[in-house]
Structure 1
Amino acid sequence: MQQELKSEITKQHIVHEAFNLFYKNGFKSTSINDVMKATKMSKGAFYHHYKSKHQLGLEVIELKIQKRVYDGMILPLKEPGHAMEILQSTFLNRIKSFSFYDKQNGCPMNNFINEIGNYESSYQLALKNIVEKWKKELVILIEKGKKQNAIKKEIASEAVAIYLISAFEGIRGIRKLYDNDSILDQYISGLSLYLNQLKP
């Protein structure tokens, strides 16, 4: 039992350091040697836990990237209350909450999608799974908003969900090109206008 716990802690350490390196330098630019150096592990110790960079990449997606999206963008959608207010606060509060480092480096999920989304089917499936979960919860919330008469009944819920996800992920990527938040302020203004158009 003690050995299993130690092994799990070691794996969490590897995943954490790998995530930081992938986020900062990119997945393809990061080697197993880079991860070993960051974790201060020998080659034998590393390969005892992960057989390949491919396996490690999947763990990073499932344990780090999925958790970030779930905690930041999916969990808030499940809160009780007024659907439109939840929609506005989730997207607007999240975009305002990012650190300077996060703004400079963009969205980890978006970075992975752009770098390796078509690279390997297992990565594609893992990333798509996150987007689908996000979309599903948005659709549920939008449908709830329709029942509350807070959102127009005639709008296509899935289309709105995908648009919101795409705009959010897009601005995270575009922000990397700028040295200030003016582009984010414009996105926030545009998002507020769009959400207002969903109201009856």
Structure 2
Amino acid sequence: MSAKAAATRLNILQKAFALVYANGYRTTSIDQVIATTQVTKGAFFYHFKNKDDMGLAMINEVMRPGMEEALLTPLTSGKNPKEELYAMMHGLLLQNPFFVVKYGCPAINLIDELSGYSDAFNKTLTTLADNWRNAIIACIENGKSNGSIKPETNASQVALYVLASYGGIRNLGKMYGKDCYTPFLAEFKNYLSTL
């Protein structure tokens, strides 16, 4: 693929991601994506067989790399899980310049909307969640190894709890706004102190 074609593909995926984040996957049409990117229908279909092909590519080529850089690498290489997990949650909720409170989290939204939509989306979204869960597990195991986390702590249970907590508070934020994040973070810090 030429550099121009790769740039066009990435532009389509980034613009589609912004539209899907604001409006949802099912209500975002190919025509809206084409209008936003100002590419021809032919150019769109050169890169993607259909809308679902584009949606899966959006998850794999836009969302996954962003998650790896912002979440996975810092957690797997960390030394103080309590601080790193809190910083991750605080950053996602209060410092991420892209996330819009009323829209929630793009990944959580897609899980809610598409995990039952098709096997392909379920598998792709499960991989996305599993990558994050595994990074949290690695973070907790690092803490167990260096003594900052109690040895009896079940890393897999903690990871599931952290993911569920994040998904829940992002969804509540859609209704209650950013103000619900601060008391959540205080309670999250209390939870981490028990590990």
Report TM bin, short chain: over 0.9
Q: What CA deviation, in whole Å up to 9, does each residue of 1:48-87 have, x standing for no partner? A: 1111001000011111221232222212213343233222
Matches of 1:140 and 1:107 in 2, distance apart? 23
Q: What CA deviation, in whole Å up to 9, does each residue of 1:106-145 have, x standing for no partner? A: 1101110111111011111111001111111111111111
For the 8 Å contact 2:79–2:139, the answer to whether it is kept is: no
For the 8 Å contact 2:99–2:105, the answer to whether it is kept is: no
How do 1:8-157 residues align onto structure 2 when only pairs under 5 Å count? 8-99=6-97, 102-157=100-155
Structure 1 runs of 4+ with >4 Å offset? none
Q: Percent identity?
A: 29
For the 8 Å contact 2:79–2:142, the answer to whether it is kept is: no
Question: Are positions 1:173 and 2:171 aligned together?
Answer: yes
Matched to 2:75, the amino acid is L
Matched to 1:160, the amino acid is V
Shift of 1:27: 0.4
Shift of 1:103: 1.3
Change beyond 3 A, Cα 1:148–1:133: same
Matches of 1:107 and 1:49 in 2, distance apart? 26
Matches of 1:55 and 1:153 in 2, distance apart? 44
Matched to 2:193, the amino acid is N
Shift of 1:92: 2.2
For the 8 Å contact 1:15–1:56, the answer to whether it is kept is: yes
Shift of 1:195: 0.4
The two structures have a TM-score, normalised by structure 2, of 0.93
Unaligned regions of 5+ residues in structure 2, if any? Answer: none
Tell me what 1:193 maps to.
Answer: 190
- 1:122 is paired with a residue whose SS is helix
- 1:27 is paired with a residue whose SS is coil
For the 8 Å contact 2:82–2:193, the answer to whether it is kept is: no
For the 8 Å contact 1:79–1:86, the answer to whether it is kept is: no
Matches of 2:191 and 2:75 in 1, distance apart? 18
Q: What CA deviation, in whole Å up to 9, does each residue of 1:15-45 have, x standing for no partner? A: 0111011111110001111111111122222
Matches of 1:106 and 1:69 in 2, distance apart? 16
Shift of 1:101: 5.3
